[in-house]
Amino acid sequence: MPDQSDDIIRQYYEDVPLDEDYLLQVPEIVMMDDESLVDEPEIEVSSEMAFRKSKKTLEGDVLVVGAGISGMQAALDIADKGYRVIMIEKSATIGGNMVKLDKTFPTNDCSICTSAPKMVEVARHRNIKLITYANLSKLEGEPGNFKARIFRKSKYVDPDKCTGCGDCVPVCPVEVINPFEEKLAKRKAIYIEFPQAVPIVYTIDYDACVGCGSCERFCEPDAISFLEKSEDIEVSVGSVIIATGYELFEPLEMRREYGYGKYPNVITAMQFERLLSSFGPTDGKMKRPSDGEKPKSIAWIQCVGSRSKQLGFPYCSRVCCMYATKEASIAKELEPGMNVSVFYMDLRAYGKDFQQYYDKAKKMGVEYIRSRPSSVYQNDDGSITIRYMDTHTREVAEKTVDMLVLSTAIMPSKENKRLAEALGIEIDDSGFFQVKSIMTDPIMTTRDGVFLAGCNQGPKDIPDSVSMASGAAAKAVAPIIDRVKVIPTPDPPQKQVVGEKPRIGVFVCHCGKNIHSFLDTEEVARYSETIPGVVYAKDIMFACSEDTQKDIRQNIDALNLNRVIIAACSPITHGGLFEDTLVEAGLNKYLFEFVNIRQHCSWVHSHNKVTATQKAKDLVRMSIEKAKLLEPLSQEEVDVTTGVLIIGGGLAGMRAALALADMKIPAYIIEKDSELGGQLRHLHTLFPSDIKASEIIQPIIQQVEASEYITVYKNTTLENIEGYIGNFKATINSPDGEIEIDYGTTIIASGFGEIDMTGKYGYGQSQKIMTQTELEGRILKNDLPNPKKIVMINCAGAMDKERPYCCRIGCGVSIKNAKLLKEKFPNSDIYILYRDIRVFGKDEEEYFAKVIEDGHIKIVRYSHEEQPNVVIDDDGNLTVKVRDQVYNEDITIPTDLLVLTAQTEGDPSAHKLVEMFKIPIGPGNFFIEAHAKIKPLDFATGGVYFCGSAHFPKNLADTIAQAEGAASRAAIPILKGKITLEGITALVDDARCVGCGLCVDACPYSAIELTDEGKALVNEALCKGCGLCNATCRSGAIQQKGFNDHQILAMIKSAMFEVI
Amino acid sequence: MTQENEAKDEWEPKIIGFLCNWCSYTGADLAGTSRLQYPPNIRIIKVMCSGRVNPQFILKAFQEGADGILVSGCHPGDCHYIEGNYHARRKLTLLMDLLDYMGVDSKRFQMSWVSASEGQKFAEVVTTFTNQIKEMGPQTKLRGVK
Ligand code: FES
């Protein structure tokens, strides 16, 4: 075979043209020197200095810098534990980059819908002091005793007076480019960034303002004050979390050959997100910038600014493949006739459900072109022609599209350099913050007491950022654990509503376009108002936004509403938010009904507006009828038992235990093997470094065994679980017999392993065939014969019908082991047969490129349809036959050692846990989290959390971040010390009860007993509110609160009502 | 097409669906999130557990004029309240006999198990059931009976 793969790989990374005549148009490449990447940002408006107020001081426990999704998660995790958070954000609103996105992969959840509730929660949390439009200028002191200097710029608007009405905007004469809209639109000098901004306070852009005073004259509440001064604030805290996020690469200087900035119809992916967003500049319509026409074809070019040292950044940005897949499939969904294509190098669908998402996009008709685009040009009609070399056919071709989207890289924030100086921490070669150790301490900076979360130390997707943020919260709480916690202030007094006539308020949410495009929300609101009992009904843009929350509270107050109905999305995700809104307005939270007109209506009947509207009206009416019968319910509080049970003593379980120990919380690790360490015990070195696995795992095992807070049970299995969040009782089977443990919360870290490869690729038929893990064991024991030709087959058993997912770690493992083998056997030839090289994130790409180059490893791409074939002859000789996708030819390799990069799956013990804890499990025995993006470590079942490869295979850094994150989640109820029980429980009417005892038998929780008087009695602490007793009772004496017979019958009756 | 058939085509059945909060309601959410399309005839009533569904609700709904009724809960063994769906299954299977005895085709009443990750299944169940009820025509036996 021609030995050209080295060249191919080099060309990948050096960006040299593949053929002389291929690059017909030499791109204009402007090389930037490194310094220009981190040029000095402007942080303060110098003219403002004169207005500075005298110093103000603030006290808190933890300072969180940056209020994107990571910062918010970290702040909430700390505040929920009872500590005080001071949170600063440089923009006028919180929310970060996530709120700019239209939807998130791989579930296509609406991005603002998942982040807005968090924003509202942060702003309303009693333990969080939020300071927006502020920067950190200095950090002094040490862990436990830091002093930070904060400069808060004046917004020239009084936050207490501003109602967010926006009357000031039309009268402002100044227009400037709007950075929030990625330069696609303009805004005025007085602005809010987006309608759901938090806090909902307008800001005057001092640099743009001409001082005409129009806004001041038009502002009814007199909120505008040009005398409002900036502040110098000194805050004292015990620890600091930096969650300042990232910036996106702008292909203006480097990668200019793709025409961004020159041709109007070439836009970045983030700009495309804004075009899709319902509150974006086009109200969610896909329009191309040059003429506002709807494009009939769109293409994406991947890796713009990523994976190239010369033309951007050497690392893979980790998220671009999936966000482009998301954008392309949304485009296709909105316009099925549209021609949608993605120009890519490797499609890195490495995460949980990513591969399935990618497969689905392909099925929808998104065309993926494996290629190297060289340049683009614009045609007279504004369309864009892309010149590229198809890396399958190796032919140069052109494709013309109406609009071109560039998938630009995640890059370090330009402010990092200044901030690192202010914080006294270091930055790495690319300009990201330097972590203490990528292998063992991915959350710590180079300064003690200062922690990192999110993308400021490398690209990450949302769930990884959120996990890391929780991890940072655990770390940050450790130094202040002995401080006195905040005693929560009681809720505002509840209005008396019993005996009053129902006065119902109905709020119908547009959810941007999500509901409004598919059903007539105004009509639903108008109709609701005609129903007796309803005193107010209105349709609103976003029910969950801060301004609407305010509006709802005001209406409850002004109109004396005593029942509230929200017709919007799902109570599962948003119920709690609105219940809080009621409580703040002095209403009992059970005087609330949530109508799901999105998931259960607009999204599932999107082709018929008339029937969808009709159904929405019916659903709202049914809830109104139920609401009339709602009664306020009270909730009891119970104490929480301290201690966390951790299932699994691998890296994840041990790091979770250590993080808990740092918070002085006892942890009980149960491990089924005779030793701690899990998978790492069997590995030699760890990707992407050359550190020995034992060097990492041994010190951790020692720490765990030495900790006074951690108890380890080896050779032990979990037999039974009783109880619920706050008070669990585990029965474990240990060598010392059965032991019972009382504890508060559970972390599942049951890990994963390679699948059984028997019968695949000749596995089991020859000594020369082994899996990667077996190979590492052999290397550890030094018992490999000297192989001349080594073949590795990646994705063995992966991405097929049975296991449709990518194993996430196999590519990295194969490269690392290829390097190991090359070092051991320098004269060997090593081939890696791969489908896509999925080394993602920082350092990995670099490591991969170096190994391939230095080791002269040959890489051969094969396709799923044409799998490598392993032939074993009678003498036991091995031959691997494979069709090379790049050169389109068959290759035969006589092989001495065949290593299979086996697919992985969750530990088989997972199924037992599913039953015990009532938690869901998905493909490959991996558990399913409560929310793929914002609750990656939680289960829907309270008090049970998980981390590590039980969630999905992952590398060291991600595992540790998750483990520490899970520790933070599990610590919340324990540090709080109390749990509030549900109000939905069963209630017995003694007068009706005949004492038959059927309910006693029906109750799965033994919460009901018969009293001496022969009446049923419910124990509220044990009752879970399932309603089984209610369905069993013959005399209607026992009723489930919130779902009693009358309430449900009222809904049934109302469902049948004919509306004309 | 005969006139009768045309009339049948225009007539839209009314269907009530009782979904348990933990599995089927969330499964229905997933059907929405995945933008699966199904007929709009179903009106969902959320209950905490399928075991909460009292046979009285079914009879009442038929009296009020429902043409079909669906009860959906977690898969056997998966009930959030351990055994609620077993209660439901036992009780409501008996109800089917009663319905037949009363002259209501028990096919108008269906139980299904849909988990939180089965959006696709939820859409399928609703589609098949709605079509089946459409075929059967309006339920008149119990409608209006006091
Ligand atoms: S909770 Fe779903 S059936 Fe019981």
Over the stretch A266-275, which tens digit does the pLDDT of each residue have? 999 999 999 9
Rounded to the nearest angstrom, the distance between the alpha carbon of B75 and the centre of ligand 1 is 8
Q: What is the nearest CA distance from A341 to chain B, expressed in angstroms?
A: 22
B142 domain-assigned: no
Rounded average pLDDT over A452-458: 95
Residue A300 bridge partners (DSSP) = A342, A405
Interface membership of B44 toward A (CB under 8 Å): yes
Nearest by Cα to B66 from B36, B110, B22: B110
Rounded to the nearest angstrom, the distance between the alpha carbon of B51 and the centre of ligand 1 is 7
Q: Which pLDDT score is estimated for A184?
A: 92
When divided into structural domains, chain B yields a total of 1
Quick: pLDDT tens for A226-236: 888 889 999 99
Least CA distance to B63: which residue of chain A?
A1053
CA pair distance A546, A548, nearest whole angstrom: 6
HSE-CB at A92 with a 13 A cutoff on CA atoms is: 23
Token look-up 């170096």 returns A850
Rounded to the nearest 10°, the torsion over CA B134, B137, B141, B142 is 40
Nearest by Cα to A595 from B23, B25, B40, B54: B25
B89 domain-assigned: yes
Q: What is the nearest CA distance from B82 to chain A, expressed in angstroms?
A: 7
Q: Which pLDDT score is estimated for A54?
A: 58
pLDDT(A391) > 70: yes
Token look-up 């333990």 returns A127
Which of A41-45, A460-464, A531-535 comes out lowest in average pLDDT? A41-45
Interface touch B37/A920, C-beta < 8 Å: no
Interface touch B28/A606, C-beta < 8 Å: no
Which of A56-65, A220-229, A242-251 comes out lowest in average pLDDT? A220-229
B145 domain-assigned: no
- Residues of chain A in contact with residue B26, where contact means CB-CB under 8 angstroms, are 572, 940
**ipTM of the complex, rounded to two decimals:** 0.95
Rounded to the nearest angstrom, the distance between the alpha carbon of A613 and the centre of ligand 1 is 29
Interface touch B51/A1024, C-beta < 8 Å: no
pLDDT(A9) > 50: no
Quick: pLDDT tens for A139-159: 999 999 999 999 999 999 988
What is the DSSP code string of A470-537? HHHHHHHHGGGTTSPPPPPPPPPPPPP-TTSPP-EEEEEE-TTTTTTTTS-HHHHHHHHHTSTTEEEE
Structure tokens that stand for A798 in this block: 């992966």
pLDDT(A308) > 90: no
B69 domain-assigned: yes
Can you state the angle between helices A956-976 and A69-80, rounded to 10 degrees? 40
Quick: pLDDT tens for A120-139: 889 888 899 999 999 999 99
Interface membership of B84 toward A (CB under 8 Å): yes
Rounded average pLDDT over B105-128: 92
Rounded to the nearest angstrom, the distance between the alpha carbon of B21 and the centre of ligand 1 is 7
Chain A interface test: which of B52, B72, B83, B143 (most A C-beta within 10 Å): B52
Rounded average pLDDT over A907-929: 88
B15 domain-assigned: yes
Quick: pLDDT tens for A1000-1048: 999 988 889 999 999 999 988 778 899 999 999 999 999 999 999 999 9
Q: Which pLDDT score is estimated for A18?
A: 33
Quick: pLDDT tens for A72-90: 999 999 999 999 999 999 9
Rounded average pLDDT over A978-993: 91
Task: Provide the whole-model pTM.
Answer: 0.80
Establish, for the pair of chains A and B, how many residue pairs have beta carbons separated by less than 8 Å.
Answer: 140
Nearest by Cα to A802 from A760, A749, A748, A752: A760
Chain B interface test: which of A1056, A1058, A1059 (most B C-beta within 10 Å): A1056
Q: Which pLDDT score is estimated for A1058?
A: 66
- Residues of chain B in contact with residue A920, where contact means CB-CB under 8 angstroms, are 115-117
Using the 8-state DSSP alphabet, how is residue A133 labeled?
A: S
Quick: pLDDT tens for A82-119: 999 999 999 999 999 999 999 899 988 778 877 887 88
- Residues of chain B in contact with residue A616, where contact means CB-CB under 8 angstroms, are none
B144 domain-assigned: no
Estimate to the nearest angstrom the gap between the alpha carbon of A507 and the chain centroid. Answer: 29
Interface membership of B102 toward A (CB under 8 Å): no
Local confidence band at B9 (pLDDT 50, 70, 90 cut-offs)? low
Quick: pLDDT tens for A568-601: 998 887 888 899 999 999 999 999 999 999 999 9
The whole-chain average pLDDT of chain A stands at 89
Report which residue type is found at A692: K
Quick: pLDDT tens for A858-881: 999 999 889 999 999 999 899 999
Whether A683 and A708 have beta carbons less than 8 Å apart is answered as: no
Residue A200 bridge partners (DSSP) = none
Q: Which pLDDT score is estimated for A411?
A: 95
Interface touch B29/A940, C-beta < 8 Å: no
Q: Which pLDDT score is estimated for A194?
A: 85
Least CA distance to B44: which residue of chain A?
A619
B11 domain-assigned: yes
* A199 cis-preceded (ω within 30 degrees of 0): yes
Report which residue type is found at A263: Y
Interface touch A1030/B115, C-beta < 8 Å: no
Nearest to A606 among B37, B46, B91 (CB): B37
Interface membership of A1023 toward B (CB under 8 Å): no
Structure tokens that stand for A356 in this block: 């399935």
- For the CA atoms of chain A, what is the radius of gyration? 30
Query: Where does residue A217 rank: exposed (0-12), middle (13-18), buried (19+ CB within 10 A)?
Result: exposed
Interface touch B51/A600, C-beta < 8 Å: no
Interface membership of B124 toward A (CB under 8 Å): no
CA pair distance A583, A687, nearest whole angstrom: 50
Nearest to B32 among A603, A941, A1032 (CB): A603
HSE-CB at A984 with a 13 A cutoff on CA atoms is: 20
Whether A414 and A36 have beta carbons less than 8 Å apart is answered as: no
Quick: pLDDT tens for A592-628: 999 999 999 999 999 999 999 999 999 999 999 999 9
Rounded average pLDDT over A769-775: 95
CA pair distance A424, A71, nearest whole angstrom: 20
Q: What is the nearest CA distance from A932 to chain B, expressed in angstroms?
A: 12
Which residues have C-beta within 8 Å of that of residue A178, sequence separation ≥ 6? Answer: A184, A185, A186, A187, A191
Interface touch A622/B45, C-beta < 8 Å: yes
* A1004 cis-preceded (ω within 30 degrees of 0): no
Interface membership of B137 toward A (CB under 8 Å): no
Q: Which pLDDT score is estimated for A52?
A: 53
B112 domain-assigned: yes
- Residues of chain A in contact with residue B53, where contact means CB-CB under 8 angstroms, are 1031
What is the CATH number for B57? 3.40.50
Is ligand 1 within 6 A of the CB of residue B84?
Answer: yes
Interface membership of A45 toward B (CB under 8 Å): no
Rounded average pLDDT over A243-268: 94
Is ligand 1 within 6 A of the CB of residue B81?
Answer: yes
- Residues of chain B in contact with residue A571, where contact means CB-CB under 8 angstroms, are 46
Local confidence band at A853 (pLDDT 50, 70, 90 cut-offs)? confident
Local confidence band at A25 (pLDDT 50, 70, 90 cut-offs)? very low
| Helix, coil or strand: residue A49 | helix
Look up the domain containing B11 and give its range: 3-136
Local confidence band at A283 (pLDDT 50, 70, 90 cut-offs)? confident
Q: Which pLDDT score is estimated for A841?
A: 67
